[in-house]
Amino acid sequence: MYNYKNNFLLEGKTKKLYKTDNINEIIIHYKDIITSFDGDKTQSLNQKGIINNQISAIIFHLLNSCGIKTHFIRIINNREQLCHKLDLFTLEFVIRNIVFGSMSKRLGIKEGIYIQNPIFEIFYKNDILKDPFINHHHAVFLKIISYEELNIINKISLEINKIIKKFFFDKNIILVDLKLEFGKNHKKEIVLADEISPDTCRIWDKTTKQKLDKDCFRKGYSNEKIINTYMKVLNKIDK
């Protein structure tokens, strides 16, 4: 029998990747690690990998069913999922529905203001530079991506935001912002990658406005409180 554990590919801050016997598919393993501030603060958080694997699978399954091309194929076990192998752009794309976090600091605008037309932002994924905010021209100048690909990603990102915003809203959750990553598959198609979970978006309880995401970690809440919050999200959407 094929044992993927002998086929380790690489390890990131919160995930491990394994090869499979299909060159176009990989296994993604979700670790119990939580990081923030571009990796400046890192700690282990028991059960987080299991919860995020499930949350992300539910959202990617939803996106697949809405016709969005994603890397997600299926869940394999409580920590692992089978995904299409992609060549990732070294970029992060953030879509904002409410002003918060770096946008508020950068522009000196109060947090919490509703944005009528969701804003699409680009960040250069680079740990040494701490993922700086860039524009389309920088990304093309750096030879990471073409203008045409950026236009496609901008359009898909807004569509994804619309789908997830509605999905969460129906579960009594507000989607404040979310971070997306994309890559290209072996057919050179643009495909959504990475994960969508409380680690990668800001979500608030619609009624209480309680934060249900990694901001709990950024604010220094206890491990128990953070994991209970992530579990609360899974329970709300897993219905």
Binding site for ligand 5GP (CB under 6 A): 38, 92, 94, 100-103, 131, 177-179, 199-202, 214
How far apart are CB 30 and ligand 5GP at their closest, in Å? Answer: 12
Q: Report d(CA 29, CA 48) in Å as an integer.
A: 12
CA–CA–CA angle 29, 93, 129 (5° rounding): 85
How far apart are CB 202 and ligand 5GP at their closest, in Å? Answer: 4
How far apart are CB 94 and ligand 5GP at their closest, in Å? Answer: 5
Residue with smaller CB distance to ligand 5GP, 80 or 177: 177
DSSP string, the chain: ---GGG-EEEE-SSEEEEE-SSTTEEEEEE-SEEEETTTTEEEE-TTHHHHHHHHHHHHHHHHHHTT--BSEEEEEETTEEEEE--EE-SEEEEEEEE--HHHHHHHT--TT-EEEEEEEEEEE--TTTTS-EE-HHHHHHTTS--HHHHHHHHHHHHHHHHHHHHHHHTTTEEEEEEEE-EEE-TT--EEE-S--STTTEEEEETTT--B-STHHHHTT--HHHHHHHHHHHHHHH--
Residue with smaller CB distance to ligand 5GP, 103 or 226: 103
How far apart are CB 40 and ligand 5GP at their closest, in Å? Answer: 11
Residue with smaller CB distance to ligand 5GP, 4 or 52: 52
Residue with smaller CB distance to ligand 5GP, 60 or 100: 100
How far apart are CB 109 and ligand 5GP at their closest, in Å? Answer: 12
Residue with smaller CB distance to ligand 5GP, 178 or 212: 178
How far apart are CB 156 and ligand 5GP at their closest, in Å? Answer: 17
Q: Is the dihedral of CA 170, 211, 79, 39 positive or negative?
A: positive
Residue with smaller CB distance to ligand 5GP, 26 or 52: 52
